[in-house]
Amino acid sequence: MKKRKVKKGAAMIEIIFEFVIIMVLLLSFIAIWRPFIQKQNVDYIARTLVRAVETNGRIDSSITDLQNELEDDLGLEIDSITWHATYIPGTNKIQIKDEFSLTIEDMATIKLFEPTFSDPVEINIPIKKTFTGISQVFWK
């Protein structure tokens, strides 16, 4: 029976490869985490705006101010906000128990790498959230 030669240093090479794999996975997780946080922030803004309109019964400058304040607090710049509502004719008021909806569209960007000689390589992920609410204010 032949004796096998023990290769010294083979364990060190395995440890280096394991370390590289763990670091790549960790950096990938950190890069991919940002869109999840952005999606959560967009949901929060949508939910807060719909609740504000439910209690106010109208879509006016106070709602726009709240939107801008939330965007500033969360560090977002939302691409598109669309309201769909049935208003009382000639006003911006929504009658009690009338439904309205809010659609927010935004774009999350993951930078894969940023070479010095060209534009960064990025993946753009669309974020779209629609919330529906019911007015709680009776207008005479």
Name the E strands within 58-98: 80-85
Q: Is residue 139 part of a domain?
A: no
Residues sharing a CB contact under 8 Å with residue 62, sequence separation 6 or more, in sequence order: 52, 56
Q: Is residue 22 part of a domain?
A: yes
| CATH assignment of the domain containing 38 | 3.30.1300
List, for residues 50-103, the tens digit of each pLDDT value: 999 999 999 999 999 999 999 999 999 999 999 999 999 989 899 999 999 999
* Other residues' Cβ atoms within 10 Å of the Cβ of residue 3: 5
Model pTM above 0.85: no
Q: Is residue 121 part of a domain?
A: yes
Residues sharing a CB contact under 8 Å with residue 108, sequence separation 6 or more, in sequence order: 34, 35, 38, 39, 124, 125, 126, 127
Instruction: Name the domain count of the chain.
Output: 1
Range of the domain at 89: 11-134
List, for residues 95-134, the tens digit of each pLDDT value: 999 999 999 999 998 887 788 888 888 889 999 999 999 9
Q: Is residue 2 part of a domain?
A: no
Q: Is residue 4 part of a domain?
A: no
Q: Is residue 6 part of a domain?
A: no
Q: Is residue 5 part of a domain?
A: no
Q: Which residue has the tokens 């659609």?
A: 103
Which amino acid is residue 51, in one-letter code? R
